[in-house]
Homo-oligomer: A and B are copies of this chain.
């Protein structure tokens, strides 16, 4: 069964997954013509090699810890911290502790 995206006005929880993290897959919460919001789930040691997004991105760590590399530096994001990046800026992610994070991608320029 296809996973249903949330609809406008529908409330969804984006809390820490805790012990359920390792059994949870990344999930696109919703996607419109203009923006996509994904709850990323990533175990320690995994990552995403350098890539670019078509629009600006916002990364908000929900739990755990990730190393985020862009603009010639690496910053660690812990629960409750966020950053944004301009469109087409190369970046990579490496998970330091089992983590979940919200990824907001602007789609139209």
Contacts and interface: CB of A to CB of B under 8 A. Distances in A.
Interface string A1-44: 00000101111111110000000000001101011010000000
Contacts of A8: 70-71, 83-86, 89
Interface in A53-76: 55-56, 58, 60, 70-71, 73, 75-76
A48 interface: no
A11 B82 contact: yes
A80 interface: yes
B30 A106 contact: no
Contacts of A12: 81-83
Contacts of A51: none
A32 B83 CA distance: 13
Nearest to A108: B108
A15 B77 CA distance: 12
Interface of A: 6, 8-16, 29-30, 32, 34-35, 37, 55-56, 58, 60, 70-71, 73, 75-77, 79-86, 89, 102, 104, 106, 108-109
